[in-house]
């Protein structure tokens, strides 16, 4: 039966592809992959709470970390579980949020109805609130069963506590510990081609988390409900609307935060004796500088993606001014700034964020920087080092002979087991050695002038700015962001059957002058982005809108 | 955490959904990269191994921020400049004036230190009716203040004379010689304060004031040297001093970071322009009337210097310029500092009445047209600066005086004084 289904699907795909190709250039047909079940990331959770209940609701809690898979935490979210301990934390957090939502100040603006008595249950008012909020939390309208469940919980709570709002907080807590909130559960439906696609609400959710990194808004949910997202015009209308919003900046910033491994800023520390200027404000602003730069260049100016490696345009805050030695017209805020021609700063890889993040606490690391460029910007995996590597020569900064990192790495690479990988990383990282471990400029190391020359995949350069130009010319750079963006949006790595589709996307990206907004549009308006293989039927799996026994017991 | 967006709620009942993010939106409005009005700081030393702003900044301006400001006091190892010892402290005079019974009461029978807490204020209030003798220094008569009797001092020759002659702007006084032998140095402020504990090395008054400057970022002085063509030798530059409107950014060890940006405070009166020159890396200026912000020992004050000039070694160290600011300081302006805090006499160990009398006796500048008595003390302040960016409002021309000797009355009127 399975074999027959597979044969039929393959035949069908081939037939459709043949038909389409005869009509001229069109996207290659794919069958996609199974729908994803993705745990909300911490940022998605926080953004959702902010957007549903307002920014004054404090989300004070810890979230379990996600595993980075194929270069993205977003892919780790697709295989993330919730442990019993984590569920307890979610519950505590949900309770805290719910109590804030119903407190005397917030209830006035967040509840559109007033109970007949604050000391008693009022199912009508509770239902109105639950219906309104539940749509955003579950990213679809609540089913009747769900509606009844949370209304009942709220009413029971109100009766037990003699307080309508306290009862409502219980109902809200129940919704926020439901897997229907904590997980994005994508639903497949048949399409007109005989294949399968995501249903409207799943499309809306994918769109919203890709473009805004938050739950869908009312307009998007309305569009899903009306079936507009199943038409190209409807999708395009929503895409244009969402990209025009400043939330698109946030969405793209979230993507690059993931792609560049910026979550590590939360734990980044530098030795204050060696780098006294690397204070907390600098750490926070360094990250934001790069994200602001990226969103501005790619969404505001709509430059060629590859220009992010060469552009001297950026943003500077009061905290970053002393680090870059740049005047800031308002030391309490941010200002756009363009480093002068000939400056050592051009491209995001020269930013303080990149230099400091991919260094050791007390010194720079050409290897870590080179690895970061290869893995994060070019999507080239560097193998893990062997377990028995002797780092003593490299770590000996006081070596009288090998006084620079370059000299120490040459000595280190005499070991054949190390040389292969270091050859891929070190020439890149050594170009950035004029930035110390905290990203500050220097020209010498231990009294020796730093040599920043190198070569990347056949292109030679003399410094980090030249490295940026080499990255600009490297075909792996735009291909990398194409793959990462698609994987980020779908929650999975492209499958082998999508090779043709990915090549098509890359080609389209190039045709549009490597404009990221065009790449997003191509992706979002495609069929491939929503194409799924329906999961094998499991009679034990509950329907998405049904109410589980566990939930009933809440 | 990203700080790009403000809150907006999808179910917010009082406002439309999707409020634009004010911070980001506001930034978008002036997203167009513009030419900075800020002044570029130049490196202080060409020998520095670290690339400096000079390498990437072509502005012709040197920006500096003062991080250390002390009255210039020359001290010898064995205190030869003070052969009669240090000034008698306010407490000593106060304590001696108390009846034994009161001393017992204040010290719990000698068990506790006599001058702490509230007794600090009490000790200064020893006028006949409890007046603060620092606020009203003529209300009691104390033993004479002990002053410097040495011949060496830091400072400048403000009156241009090498002898004790008078001029229309000065009264007769003894000159000093600098440690490196320059004669004719006028520094009666040193003569007044040099033998008082609070102003000597590690003395509480100035050490504490400098600590407060760094801790509170109040009273920050900015120095802007513009029209610089050659930072080692330039025969014509313009120097202005401002009050900063921003705080000191500091590193993990509490040191002020170089190359920070400071906006200029828009209080009128600051920013008079002085003509200057740079010779072998040393900046010097012609005299101007200047007001400098000052905060220390919990008191806001202001230094008013007439005929102020500056001598600053721009290459003193790799990252610091050092030098002196000298001029005639009006006695009443000087005394306003003590009027705000009688405790200075306690922590600085001197008698306000004694010092006030001595200040008038030593005054050597700006004679009163009616009495002929001088009203100002020749003074010198030792400063250290680090590189900074000085950010002026785009329309600052109207707020910055081009005059080098604008009448004081005009300036004070502009300041509402």
CB of A182 closer than 8 Å to CB of A40 = yes
Q: Over range A356-378, report the average pLDDT.
A: 94
Nearest neighbour of B56 by CB, restricted to A56, A217, A343: A343
Q: Which residues of B touch A339 (CB under 8 A)?
A: 56
Q: Over range A72-83, report the average pLDDT.
A: 94
For an interface test with A, the pick among B2, B31, B52, B262 (most A C-beta atoms closer than 10 Å) comes out as B2
In this prediction the ipTM stands at 0.79
Q: How many CB pairs under 8 A join A and B?
A: 169
Task: Check B12 against A110: CB less than 8 A apart.
Answer: yes
**Would you state the pLDDT for residue A148?**
97
**B 54-113 residues inside an 8 A Cβ radius of A:** 56-58
Long-range Cβ pairs for the range B121-124 (8 Å, 24+): B121/B342, B121/B343, B123/B90, B123/B91, B123/B94, B123/B95, B123/B346, B124/B90, B124/B94, B124/B342, B124/B343, B124/B345, B124/B346, B124/B352
Query: Picking from A285-289, B18-22, B193-197, which range would have the lowest pLDDT averaged per residue?
Result: B18-22
**For residue B211, is pLDDT > 90?**
yes
Task: Check B12 against A330: CB less than 8 A apart.
Answer: no
| B48 close contact with A: CB closer than 8 A | no
CB of A134 closer than 8 Å to CB of A181 = no
pLDDT digits (tens, 9 = 90+) for A86-124: 999 999 999 999 999 999 999 999 998 999 999 999 999
**Would you state the pLDDT for residue B408?**
41
**For residue B263, is pLDDT > 50?**
yes
Q: Note the residue count of chain A.
A: 554
Q: Over range A255-260, report the average pLDDT.
A: 98
DSSP B88-106: PPHHHHHHHHS-HHHHHHH
Task: Check A133 against B17: CB less than 8 A apart.
Answer: no
Nearest neighbour of B53 by CB, restricted to A50, A325, A331: A325
Nearest neighbour of A112 by CB, restricted to B13, B27, B255: B13
Q: Which residues of B touch A288 (CB under 8 A)?
A: 2-4
DSSP A339-387: PPTT-S--SGGGSHHHHHHTS-SSS--HHHHHHHIIIIIS--PPPPPPT
Q: Over range A259-276, report the average pLDDT.
A: 94
Task: Check B31 against A296: CB less than 8 A apart.
Answer: yes
Could you list the beta-strand ranges (E) of B316-373.
321-330, 365-367
**Would you state the pLDDT for residue B53?**
31
| B53 close contact with A: CB closer than 8 A | yes
Dihedral (CA of B328, B331, B333, B339) sign: positive
**Would you state the pLDDT for residue A110?**
93
**For residue B31, is pLDDT > 70?**
no
Q: Is the model more confident about B324 or about A18?
A: B324
pLDDT digits (tens, 9 = 90+) for B140-159: 999 999 999 999 999 999 99
CB of B83 closer than 8 Å to CB of B145 = no
pLDDT digits (tens, 9 = 90+) for B282-320: 999 999 999 999 998 888 888 999 999 999 999 998 889
Residue-averaged pLDDT of chain B: 81
H or E element in which residue A519 lies: helix A516-524
CA A108 to chain B, closest CA, distance in angstroms equals 9
The percent of chain A in helix, strand and coil, each rounded to the nearest 5, is: 55, 5, 40
Q: Is the model more confident about A28 or about B107?
A: A28
Domain boundaries along the sequence of chain B: 53-88+142-414, 90-127
Helices H / strands E in chain B, number of each: 11, 11
With CA atoms as reference, report the closest residue to B328 among B171, B162, B137, B150: B171
Split at pLDDT 50, 70, 90, the class of B107 is confident
- C-alpha to C-alpha distances, B47 to A283, B44, B277, B317, B322, nearest whole angstrom: 30, 9, 21, 10, 17
**Would you state the pLDDT for residue A545?**
53
pLDDT digits (tens, 9 = 90+) for B350-387: 999 999 999 999 999 999 999 999 999 999 999 999 99
**B 243-282 residues inside an 8 A Cβ radius of A:** 246, 249-253, 255, 257-263
Task: Please give the Cα distance from B204 to B209 (Å, whole number).
Answer: 8
CA A246 to chain B, closest CA, distance in angstroms equals 7
CA A335 to chain B, closest CA, distance in angstroms equals 8
**Would you state the pLDDT for residue A486?**
97
pLDDT digits (tens, 9 = 90+) for B171-201: 999 999 999 999 999 999 999 999 999 999 9
**Would you state the pLDDT for residue B345?**
82
Q: Over range A522-543, report the average pLDDT.
A: 79
pLDDT digits (tens, 9 = 90+) for A124-133: 999 999 999 9
Q: Which residues of B touch A280 (CB under 8 A)?
A: none
CB of B299 closer than 8 Å to CB of B335 = no
pLDDT digits (tens, 9 = 90+) for A399-458: 666 777 777 777 666 666 677 777 888 889 999 999 999 999 998 787 888 999 999 999
**For residue B231, is pLDDT > 60?**
yes
What residues are paired with A39 via a beta bridge?
A: A183
Task: Please give the Cα distance from A187 to A202 (Å, whole number).
Answer: 6
Nearest neighbour of A327 by CB, restricted to B21, B40, B51: B40
Q: Is the model more confident about B27 or about A243?
A: A243
Domain boundaries along the sequence of chain A: 40-184, 256-473
**Would you state the pLDDT for residue A19?**
46
How many percent of chain A have pLDDT more than 70?
A: 88
Split at pLDDT 50, 70, 90, the class of B9 is low
Residue-averaged pLDDT of chain A: 89
Nearest neighbour of B11 by CB, restricted to A110, A321, A342: A110
Dihedral (CA of A310, A315, A319, A324) sign: positive
With CA atoms as reference, report the closest residue to A489 among A515, A526, A534, A514: A526
With CA atoms as reference, report the closest residue to B227 among B246, B215, B240, B210: B240
pLDDT digits (tens, 9 = 90+) for A184-205: 999 999 988 788 999 999 999 9
**Would you state the pLDDT for residue B298?**
84
CB of B194 closer than 8 Å to CB of B200 = yes
**Would you state the pLDDT for residue B37?**
27
Could you list the beta-strand ranges (E) of A424-475.
444-445, 448-449, 454-456, 459-461
CB of A432 closer than 8 Å to CB of A464 = yes
Task: Check A278 against B6: CB less than 8 A apart.
Answer: no
Query: Angle A117-A118-A123 (CA atoms, 0-180°, nearest 5)?
Result: 70
CA B12 to chain A, closest CA, distance in angstroms equals 6
Q: Is the model more confident about B408 or about B65?
A: B65
Q: Which residues of B touch A325 (CB under 8 A)?
A: 41, 52-53, 56-57, 259
| B35 close contact with A: CB closer than 8 A | no
């Amino acid at each position: 039966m399975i074999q027959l289904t597979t044969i039929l699907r393959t035949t069908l795909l081939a037939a459709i592809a043949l038909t389409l190709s005869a009509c001229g250039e069109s996207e290659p047909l794919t069958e996609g992959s199974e729908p994803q079940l993705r745990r909300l990331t911490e940022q998605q959770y926080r953004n959702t709470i902010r957007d549903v209940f307002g920014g004054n609701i404090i989300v004070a809690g810890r979230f379990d970390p996600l595993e980075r898979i194929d270069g993205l935490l977003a892919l780790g979210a697709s295989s993330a579980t919730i442990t019993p301990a984590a569920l307890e934390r979610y519950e505590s957090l949900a309770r805290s949020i719910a109590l804030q939502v119903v407190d005397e100040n917030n209830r006035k603006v967040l509840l559109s109805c007033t109970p007949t008595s604050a000391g008693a249950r009022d199912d009508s008012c509770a239902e109105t609130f639950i219906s309104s909020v539940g749509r955003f939390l579950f990213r679809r309208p609540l089913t009747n069963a769900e509606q009844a469940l949370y209304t009942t919980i709220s009413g029971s709570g109100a009766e037990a506590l003699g307080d309508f709002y306290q009862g409502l907080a219980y109902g809200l807590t129940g919704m926020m510990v439901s897997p229907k909130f904590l997980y994005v559960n994508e639903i497949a439906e048949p399409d007109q081609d005989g294949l399968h696609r995501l249903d409207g609400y799943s499309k809306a959710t994918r769109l919203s988390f890709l473009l805004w990194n938050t739950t869908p808004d009312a307009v998007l949910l309305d569009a899903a409900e009306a079936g507009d997202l199943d038409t190209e015009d409807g999708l395009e209308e929503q895409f244009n609307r969402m990209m025009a919003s400043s939330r698109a900046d946030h969405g793209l910033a979230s993507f690059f935060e993931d792609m560049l491994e910026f979550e590590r800023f939360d734990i980044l520390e530098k030795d204050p004796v060696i780098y006294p200027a690397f204070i907390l404000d600098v750490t926070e602003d360094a990250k934001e500088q790069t994200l602001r730069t990226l969103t501005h260049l790619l969404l505001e100016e709509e430059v060629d993606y590859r220009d992010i490696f060469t552009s001297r345009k950026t943003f500077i805050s009061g905290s970053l001014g002393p680090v870059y030695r740049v005047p800031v017209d308002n030391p309490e805020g941010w200002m756009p700034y363009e480093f002068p021609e000939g400056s050592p700063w051009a491209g995001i890889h020269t930013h303080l964020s990149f230099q400091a993040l991919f260094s050791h606490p007390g010194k720079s690391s050409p290897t870590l920087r080179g690895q970061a460029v290869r893995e994060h910007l070019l999507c080239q995996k560097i193998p893990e080092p062997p377990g028995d590597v002797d780092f003593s020569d490299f770590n000996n900064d006081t070596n009288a002979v090998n006084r620079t990192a370059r000299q120490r790495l040459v000595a280190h690479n005499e070991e054949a087991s190390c040389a292969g990988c270091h050859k891929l990383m070190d020439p890149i990282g050594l170009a950035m050695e004029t930035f110390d471990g905290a990203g500050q400029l220097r020209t010498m190391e231990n009294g020796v002038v730093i040599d920043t020359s190198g070569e990347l995949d056949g292109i030679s350069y003399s410094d980090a700015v030249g490295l940026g130009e080499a990255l600009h010319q490297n075909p792996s750079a735009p291909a990398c962001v194409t793959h990462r963006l698609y994987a980020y949006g779908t929650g999975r790595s492209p499958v082998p059957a999508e090779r043709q589709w990915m090549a098509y996307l890359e080609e389209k990206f190039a045709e549009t002058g490597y404009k990221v907004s065009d790449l997003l549009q191509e992706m979002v308006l495609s069929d491939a982005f929503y194409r799924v293989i329906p999961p094998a039927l499991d009679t034990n799996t509950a329907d998405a809108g049904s109410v589980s026994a566990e939930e009933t017991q809440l | 955490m990203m700080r790009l967006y403000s809150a907006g709620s999808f179910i917010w009942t009082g406002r439309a959904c999707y409020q634009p993010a004010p911070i980001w939106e506001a930034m978008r409005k002036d997203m167009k990269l513009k030419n900075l009005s800020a002044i570029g700081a130049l490196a202080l030393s060409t020998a520095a191994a670290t690339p400096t702003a000079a390498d990437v900044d072509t502005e012709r301006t040197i920006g500096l921020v003062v991080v250390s400001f002390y009255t210039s006091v020359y001290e010898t190892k064995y205190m030869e400049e003070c052969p009669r010892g240090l000034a008698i402290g306010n407490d000593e005079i106060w304590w001696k004036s108390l009846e034994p019974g009161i001393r017992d009461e204040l010290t719990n029978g000698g068990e506790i230190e006599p001058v702490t807490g509230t007794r600090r204020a009490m000790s200064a209030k020893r006028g006949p009716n409890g007046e603060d003798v620092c606020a009203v220094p003529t209300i009691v008569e104390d033993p004479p203040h002990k002053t410097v009797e040495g011949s060496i001092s830091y400072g400048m020759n403000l009156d241009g004379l090498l002898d004790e002659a008078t001029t229309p702007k000065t009264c007769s006084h003894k000159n000093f010689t600098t440690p490196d032998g320059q004669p004719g140095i006028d520094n009666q402020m040193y003569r007044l304060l040099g033998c008082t504990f609070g102003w000597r090395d590690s003395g509480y008054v100035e050490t504490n004031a400098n600590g407060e400057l760094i801790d509170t970022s109040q009273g920050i002085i900015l120095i802007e040297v513009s029209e610089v063509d050659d930072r080692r030798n330039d025969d014509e530059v313009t120097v202005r001093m401002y009050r900063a409107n921003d705080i000191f950014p500091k590193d993990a060890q509490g040191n002020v970071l170089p190359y920070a940006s400071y906006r200029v405070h828009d209080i009128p009166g600051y920013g008079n322009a002085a003509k200057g020159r740079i010779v072998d890396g040393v900046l010097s200026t012609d005299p101007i009337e200047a007001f400098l912000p000052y905060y220390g020992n919990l008191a806001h004050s202001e230094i008013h210097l007439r005929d102020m000039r500056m001598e600053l070694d721009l290459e003193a160290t790799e990252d610091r310029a050092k030098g002196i600011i000298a001029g005639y300081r009006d006695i009443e302006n000087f005394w306003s500092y003590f009027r705000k805090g009688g405790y200075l006499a306690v922590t600085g160990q001197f008698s306000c009445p004694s010092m006030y009398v001595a200040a008038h006796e030593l005054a050597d500048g700006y004679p009163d047209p009616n009495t002929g008595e001088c009203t100002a003390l020749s003074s010198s302040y030792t400063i250290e600066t680090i590189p900074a960016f000085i950010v002026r409002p785009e329309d600052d021309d109207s707020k910055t005086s081009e005059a080098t000797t604008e009448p004081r009355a005009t300036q004070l009127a502009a300041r509402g004084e």
